[in-house]
């Protein structure tokens, strides 16, 4: 049984990915910080929840001890409070960079040597349309996702032909709890009204099938967006 490591276990996307990979026969390590969410995801067969702060390098190293994942899904991410960058809070900016970019690079560094040694592995990064189409009031978030996209592209070139594949997930509007603290219930209802959002299960299905492609093929980047447009909500349109 191969092992898959999925970060951001407090989100709907991670829940769906963990369930999908576990149903495909992988042993899933689900990393997150929210004890309640970890308890729920740990109830899934084939899923082992691990409470850890991804920005704590030593804690992550302890959590990974004895594990050698063949699949890494860098899904964890945060959205700083939207607004003009000139009025942004430095601590929020630093935290977003630490979670969205620095921690994901560090985790990949920890897992990649094992993949290269066995000549097999797959690394996913959850990007955003904000990396390619940045919007006002989302400068830091857009910058972290653009940096992650560039890192994924460069890493793919480094490991090409070594049995390790790298895929960037670029999701449009996904129905999750990501905006619960930034939008009112009415805004969230309008945002997702009429089936105008990608479901976490849609993303999870892609994560499940992409690693099963023959060795001769690689999905470098896939965009997954709603088939129908919904209400425009400032700040949310640029974020995943």
Q: Which two tokens stand for residue 8?
A: 């951001």
- Annotated catalytic residue within 124, 141, 179, 192: 141
d(CA 165, CA 214): 11
Whole-Å CA distances, 177 to 12, 69, 181, 183: 7, 28, 9, 10
Short-list 114, 106, 111, CA closest to 56 = 106
CA atoms within 13 A of residue 84's CA, in its CB half-sphere: 2
Whole-Å CA distances, 71 to 62, 127, 158, 164, 214: 19, 17, 17, 10, 16
User: What is the full DSSP assignment across 33-84?
Assistant: S-HHHHHHHTTSTTEEEEE--TT-HHHHHHHHTT---SEEEE-----PPPS-
d(CA 74, CA 169): 10
Q: What is the DSSP letter of 86?
A: G
Angle, alpha carbons 8-206-155 (nearest 5°): 70
**For this structure, is 141 an active site residue?**
yes
Residues annotated as part of the active site: 141
């Amino acid at each position: 049984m191969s092992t898959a490591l999925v970060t951001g276990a407090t989100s709907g996307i991670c829940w769906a990915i963990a369930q999908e990979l576990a149903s495909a026969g992988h042993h899933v390590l689900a990393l997150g910080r929210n004890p309640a969410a970890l308890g729920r995801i740990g109830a899934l067969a084939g899923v082992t929840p691990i409470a850890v702060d991804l920005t704590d390098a030593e804690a992550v190293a302890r959590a990974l001890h004895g594990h050698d994942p063949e699949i890494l899904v860098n899904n964890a991410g945060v959205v700083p409070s939207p607004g003009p960058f000139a009025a942004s809070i430095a601590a929020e900016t630093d935290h977003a960079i630490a979670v969205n970019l620095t921690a994901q690079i560090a985790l990949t560094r920890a897992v990649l040597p094992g993949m290269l040694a066995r000549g097999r592995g797959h690394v996913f990064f959850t990007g955003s349309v904000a990396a390619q189409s940045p919007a006002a009031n989302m400068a830091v978030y857009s910058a972290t996702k653009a940096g992650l996209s560039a890192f994924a592209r460069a890493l793919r070139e480094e490991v090409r032909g070594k049995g390790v594949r790298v895929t960037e997930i670029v999701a449009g509007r996904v129905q999750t709890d990501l905006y619960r603290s930034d939008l009112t219930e009415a805004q969230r209802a309008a945002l997702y009204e009429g089936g105008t959002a990608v479901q976490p299960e849609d993303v999870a299905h892609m994560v499940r099938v992409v690693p099963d492609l023959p060795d001769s093929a690689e999905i470098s980047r896939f965009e997954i967006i709603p088939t129908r447009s919904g209400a425009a909500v400032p700040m949310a349109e640029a974020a995943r």
